[in-house]
Amino acid sequence: MKNHIKTESLVWETGKVKGFSGKNLINLENGGLKMVRVKAQSNYPTHLHPEKTEYIYVIEGSPKITIGEVNYNGVKGDFFILPNAIKHSIENNTDEECQLLVGAIKV
């Protein structure tokens, strides 16, 4: 694992869902962290992870984060915890790109 990463030198890798791409910052057996770019009008469908808790920090943009049945309108600086086995989704219903830090910890 590197102690210092210049994120601008990393390549955006196309994600599994259209409109989502990422730069891996940490990739360990028990968890990881990615910088995620969400293009305008892109949505990550509702899903859950029985074996890990995820977290999201909003770097820029205004994503809608749904955790369980609760919808949050995120803004720069917001932090969200998505507990394991709870359904969640990410939506960018704006005309501007969002950037997020998305991490996970195995439970």
Model confidence pTM above 0.85? yes
Q: How far is CA 52 from the centre of its chain?
A: 14
Find residue 100's DSSP bridge partners. Answer: 36, 58
* Residue 72 near residue 30, CB atoms below 8 Å: no
**From CA 34, how far away is CA 44, in angstroms rounded?**
15
- The pLDDT profile of the chain, 107 residues, written as one tens digit per residue, is 779 999 999 999 999 999 999 999 999 999 999 999 999 999 999 999 999 999 999 999 999 999 999 999 999 999 999 999 999 999 999 999 999 999 999 99
